[in-house]
Amino acid sequence: MRRALIAAALAVGCSHPPPPRSTLDTAPPRIASAFFGLDHAMPDETRWLCKDAPGRDGLPVTFTRRVVGAIDPGAFTVTTRSGARRHPSCATTRPANARAEGHTVLLLGELGGEPADPPVEVEVTGSLPLAGGAQGQGLRAPVIALADGPTLVLAIAVAPAAIASDCPRGTQQIVLAIWAGGVTLAPGVDEDTHRRGYRAITDAGEVVPRALGDLGDRDNYEHLCLDTGAPIRRVTFSAGLLVDPRGDRNPATAIEVSAAR
C-alpha cells in the first residue's frame, strides 16, 4: 500500500512539472508593458473572464515574472491623465493562464476613457506574489495609448519538452513570443505570411520558424517552432500582420530573447 501511495504521488508530481524558467527569473522583476487595449468595448463573449467584463475597459499588464496565486484587483491602481486614481473591478491571468504562461494580468473595469481622460500609468499598490518568491508591489509602468498597435514585449526560449505545445514533432527549440495584448491575424493575412513575418536571430544569421503554435486562443502568446538549437538572441516581426482586439495593426517590432535556464 505504501509503495502504491508513493508511486501515485510521484505520478501526480510528474504530471504537473514546474513552469520553465528563464534568465528573467534571476533578474529583478519589472512590468514589461501596460496596454490600453479596449475602451468600454470588452465583448459579450468575455463574460467567462469576469462576469461584468462586457462593455468595460481592458488593460493587460505584462510582468517579467509569472504571477502566482490569487490576484486582488485592488492591488492595482490606474492613474488617468487628469490624475484620477482608479482600481479595476476584476483582474485575471485568463486567457493566458497555461502552465508556461501567466505573465499577463488583464485588468477590467472603468479605467479611464479616450479622448478626454485615458489611463496613463499603472502601479501595483498592493500585494502581488510573483514567481520565485518575488513581489510585484511597488512596480509601475506607463500605459501604451489606445490607438497604438500591439508590439512584442517579451520572448522566452524553452525546450520543447518543457511546455505543452502543438509545435510539430522534431522541433528543436520553442520561443514564446509574448505580445502587449491579445493578437489575431489582420484582415487579408494568411497563416503562412504570419509565420514568415517572424525572424529568430542567432549569431549565425536569421531563422524563419518552421511553424507557429498556440494560435487561435486570442491571447498574447505565440510559439515559434524552430529547427535550430542555436541560442536565439532576438526576435523580429514584420509590420501590419496582426491586430489587437480593437483592430489596430502591429508596427514592425523586435525584442531580445531571454534564454532558458
Confidence check: pLDDT of 141 > 70: yes
- Secondary structure E strands in the chain: 31-34, 57-63, 76-80, 85-86, 90-92, 104-109, 119-124, 129-130, 134-135, 140-142, 152-158, 173-179, 184-185, 198-202, 205-207, 211-213, 221-226, 234-237, 242-243, 253-256
Class of CATH domain 152-256: mainly beta
Tens digits of residue pLDDT in 84-117:
999 999 999 999 999 999 999 999 999 999 999 9
Would you give the distance in Å from CA 108 to the centre of its chain? Answer: 16
CATH code, 23-142 = 2.60.40
With cut-offs at 50, 70 and 90, classify the pLDDT of residue 218.
Answer: confident
With cut-offs at 50, 70 and 90, classify the pLDDT of residue 4.
Answer: very low
Confidence check: pLDDT of 5 > 50: no
Confidence check: pLDDT of 2 > 80: no
Confidence check: pLDDT of 252 > 80: yes
Q: What is the mean predicted confidence (pLDDT) over 26-33?
A: 98
Tens digits of residue pLDDT in 158-169:
999 999 999 999
The segment(s) of the chain belonging to CATH 2.60.40 are 23-142, 152-256
Confidence check: pLDDT of 190 > 80: yes
Grid coordinates representing 174 are 520553442
Confidence check: pLDDT of 38 > 70: yes
How much is the pLDDT for 172?
A: 97
Q: Which amino acid is at 133?
A: G
Confidence check: pLDDT of 6 > 60: no
